[in-house]
Chains A and B, each alone.
Chain A
Amino acid sequence: MKVLVPVKRVIDYNVKVRVKADQTGVELANVKMSMNPFDEIAIEEAIRMKEAGKAEEVIAVSIGPQQAQETIRTALAMGADRGVHVLHDGVVEPLAVAKMLKAIVEKEGPTVVILGKQAIDDDCNQTGQMLSALLGWSQATFASKIEVGDGELTVTREVDAGLETIKVKTPAIVTTDLRLNEPRYASLPNIMKAKKKPIEAMSPADLGVDPTPRLATLKVVEPAKRAGGVKVADVAELVSKLKNEAKVI
C-alpha cells in the first residue's frame, strides 16, 4: 500500500513568535522555519510501516512557498520515497488544503493518509477531519498507536477520558498525537540520498482548487501582559479587594 503524508513548513518550535508591527500577522522574515512536529511524527510512522513491510511507498506532500521544498527534503532525508510540492505563496486555509489533498489522493491512490493532528502555527486541528469528509473515508484522529491489519487499522486514540481503541476500514485518514512515536534524525547518508529523490511540482490550479482565503483576519495582537501581583495584609483586605476591585464575589 501507499502512504501519503502531508507536511507543513511552520515557525520552528524554539522561536519566540512576534507580532508584526502593523498587526496583520506574525513576523516571518528571517525567522527559522522547520517541519511541523506533528507532521514529523506522521512521517516517522509511515516510514515505520514501510520498514515493517506493511507499506511499499511513502509520499510526502507540502503546500507552500518555494522553501516548502526544504521541508519535503527533510521528509525524504528521514526516509520518505518521493515528494509532491504544491507551490503557493501566502495564506492557505485548512479547507483549501483539504481540497488540494483530496485531488492528490485521487491521483496517487494511497491506502492511508497520515497527518499531524494540527500545525503548531495556527493550531487549527481541521485538515485531517475535512479531508476525511471530502473523501468519504473513515478517520481516526489523535492516534497514539496504529496497527495495520488486513483492510483495516486498529488505532489507539488519546481522548479526554484516557485511551480509546477503534478499528477503521481502509482507505482511512489518521491524525497523529504526540506520543505515537519519537521521530528519527535525518542521518548523514540519508541526507545525501534525499538529494536524488524526486519532488513533483504543481500548482493549486493544476489541482483545480482556488486557494483564496474565505476568512479575513482583522488584526493580530500579542496576549495581554500579565500585571504584577500585590500583597495583601490580611484576609479582610483580600475579601474586600475581591468584592470591590475585582468584583468576583
Chain B
Amino acid sequence: MAIPLIDPDDLAFTLWRVLGAEALTHYPRFAEHDRGTFEAVIETARRLAEEKFRPHAAKSDANEPRLENGKVVLIPEIAEAVAAFAEAGFLAAHHDAELGGMQLPWTIQQTAFAHFKAANVPTAAYPFLTIAAANLIHAHGSEEQKRRWMPPMLGGRFFGTMALSEPHAGSSLSDVRTAARHLDDDRYAIKGAKMWTSGGEHELGQNIVHMTLARIVGAPAGVKGLSLFIVPRYRLGADGAPAEPNGVRLVGLNHKMGYRGTVNTALSLGDDDDCIGWLVGEPNQGLRQMFHMMNETRVGVALGAIMLAYQGYLESLDYARNRPQGRHPGDKDPTTPQLPLIEHADVRRMLLQQKAVAEGGLMLALDLALRIDRGNHDPDDTVRAREALLLDFLTPIIKAWYSDRALEANSNAIQIFGGYGYTRDYPVERLYRDNRLNPIHEGANAIQAIDLLGRKASMRDGAAFTAFLDEVDTALAEAEGIAEVDAIRAATQTARDDLAKTTVALLAKAPDIGPIKLLANAHAYMDLAGLVAFGWVWLRQAIVAARDLDNAPRGRPRDLLQGKLHTARYVAAWELPRTAQHAALLMALDDSVLSMRDGWF
C-alpha cells in the first residue's frame, strides 16, 4: 500500500479542529457550501492526485522535456493528468458560478492543491501557472480581455505563464528591459528576451498566454516603469480561436536539477517586430499588479516546499519502521535481531524535525489561506484590514523560513534512508532536488528576509508586526494553566520576547545605521521571526490536542494527539532556543559578515 499524500487524520485535525475552517460557510459567498462539499472536493483532489499525478512523477523526472523538430516533447502522462485536473473543474473552482466555478474558498482550494503538490509538483505547475495567470487577468484586465482569455484558460484549452525574469535580470526586476511600443488601443509591439519562463512552450493546449512585464517606450526607469501585458503564443482570430503565431520564439530549454517535468524556457519576443502584447490595466502599474498576486503565489510556493517535506517525512517514517538496522548503543551481541531504524533516538530526532516542519508548515499555509479568505470576504472592515496586515507579515516568513526548513527536512529523509536514500531507487533524492528550487524562485530567500526586516517589520508604524505579536499573545494566554503545553508555551514566550526586543532595538537604530548595516544580518532576523511563528503554530496545535486528549478513543485518535503534544515539546527543546543566539547577534549589530572583504576570501 502506497503511503498517503497527506496523513488524513492530521489534515482533519488541522483544518477542522485547530483552524475551524467550517466557519467559512457563514460568509454569504460560501453559503452554498457545507463541510460535506468541502470534503467531497478534497476527496476528488486526493484521488485525482494519487491516480493521475503521482504515478508518473519518477518517469517525468527521468525523462525531462526535450526538443524534437522545434517542438517541446513532454511524456504523455502530463497531458492526461492536466486534462483530468481541468475536467474535474479545479481550474475554475474559486471563481464565480458564471465562470464555471463553484465559489470555493481559497482555504479549501489550497487544501485540495496540497495533494497535487505532494503527488507531483512539476506536473501540477502547468495548471497552477494557468490559474495564476487567469487570476491576474481577472483582477486587472478589461472586460474585453476577460471575455477573450479567461474562458479558454479556465477550460484548460489555453495555458498561462509568468514572464518576468530576463537573462540579466532575475531577482532584480528593476532592470527589466523588454520594450513595448504603442500601436493602437491596448495593443503594443513587444521586443525583448525572457528567461526562466516555466511552461513557456509545450503542446498541452491550443495556446499559451504569457503574462509579461515590459517597459513602455519613454516610461520611467526601475520598477515604476514596468507594465503588464498579455502576450499570447498565437493571436486570436475574430472567433476567439488561436490564429497566426505572435512572434514568441523558443530560444532554448533550461536543464534543471529538479522540478524537471515543468519545462523551463528562454524566450525571445518580437525578433522580427512581429510580437503584439495587450496592455493589462494602466501603464506603469505592472509590478503593483503582479504583487497583488504575490502573497498568494508565495504562499503557494511555500505550500509546495512543505508538501515535499511532508512526502519525505512519510516516506522516511515508513522506511524507519520497516528497515532493521543496528542495535542499541551498548548492545554488541550480533546474534540478536537488528532493530528497526525508528528504535534509534537520532532517527527519531530526524523524524521529529520533519514532522514539525511538515505538519506545522501545512497548518501555517492553511492558516494564511484562511486569512486570504477572511481578508477578501469578511463584512467587517477592521477584520479585513487586520488579516491583510498579518498576511503581509507572515508571507515572507512562510516562503523563506519554510522553504529552507523543508529542504533540511528532505535532507533528513535522505539521511534516514542512508545509502539507499542517495540512490534513484527511492523517491527521497528526487523530493530534495525538486525542493531545492523553492528557496530560489518567487523572490530568493535573502530578498524575503530583507523584505521582512526592511519593510514588513516597520510598515504602518509597525502595525503588521504588532498584529503578529497580538496573535502570538492570544495563543499564549489561551495556553495558561494547561499543564501538557507548559514547555511549548514557555519557549514560545521567550522566543516572542526575543523577537519583540530585537525588533524594537533595531528599528530604533535604523535611522542612524542606514539600510545596508540594518539589513546585513537579515538572515538571522528571518530565522528569529520564523522560529516565533513556528512556536506559535505548534502551541496552537498543542492547546487543541491537550483539550481533545481526555475524550479521544484509544488507538490512532489518541496517538495523533499525543504525537502533536510531543512534537510541540521537541520544537520547544530543540528549535526555539536558537532565538537567543539570533537576538544577541542582531542587537550587537555584529558586522562579521558585512565587514568581510572580497580580497580576503
Contacts and interface: CB of A to CB of B under 8 A. Distances in A.
A195 B88 CA distance: 17
Contact of B37 (A30, A32, A34, A195): A195
B100 A189 contact: yes
Contacts of B102: 188-189, 191-192
Q: Most B CB atoms within 10 A — which of A16, A27, A34, A188?
A: A188
Nearest to A16: B1
Given A30-B553, A187-B44, A191-B41, 17 more contacts: A18-B555, A30-B555, A30-B557, A32-B8, A74-B40, A185-B44, A185-B47, A185-B88, A187-B89, A188-B41, A188-B93, A188-B102, A189-B100, A191-B102, A194-B40, A195-B32, A195-B36
A73 interface: yes
A70 B41 CA distance: 13
Nearest to A195: B37
A191 B555 contact: no
19 contacts: A14-B4, A16-B1, A30-B556, A74-B40, A77-B40, A185-B48, A185-B84, A186-B44, A187-B44, A188-B88, A188-B90, A189-B89, A189-B100, A191-B37, A191-B40, A192-B37, A194-B40, A195-B34, A195-B36
Interface residues of B, number: 26
Contacts of B556: 30
B104 interface: yes
Contacts, number: 53
Contacts of A188: 41, 44, 88-90, 93, 102, 104
Contacts of A30: 553, 555-557
A73 B44 CA distance: 13
Interface in B548-584: 553, 555-557
Which 5 residue pairs across A and B have the least CB separation, nearest first? A188-B89, A191-B40, A187-B89, A187-B88, A192-B102
Interface of A: 14, 16, 18, 27, 29-30, 32, 34, 70, 73-74, 77, 185-189, 191-192, 194-195
Interface of B: 1, 4, 8, 32, 34, 36-37, 40-41, 43-44, 47-48, 84, 87-90, 93, 100, 102, 104, 553, 555-557
A14 B40 contact: no
A14 B37 contact: no
B6 to A, nearest CB: 13
Given A29-B553, A30-B556, A195-B32, A73 B40 contact: yes
B13 to A, nearest CB: 11
A249 B102 CA distance: 68
A189 B89 CA distance: 7
Contacts of A186: 40, 43-44
Contacts of B1: 14, 16
Nearest to B554: A21
Contacts of A16: 1
Contacts of A191: 37, 40-41, 44, 102
Contacts of A32: 8
B255 to A, nearest CB: 34
A27 B32 contact: no
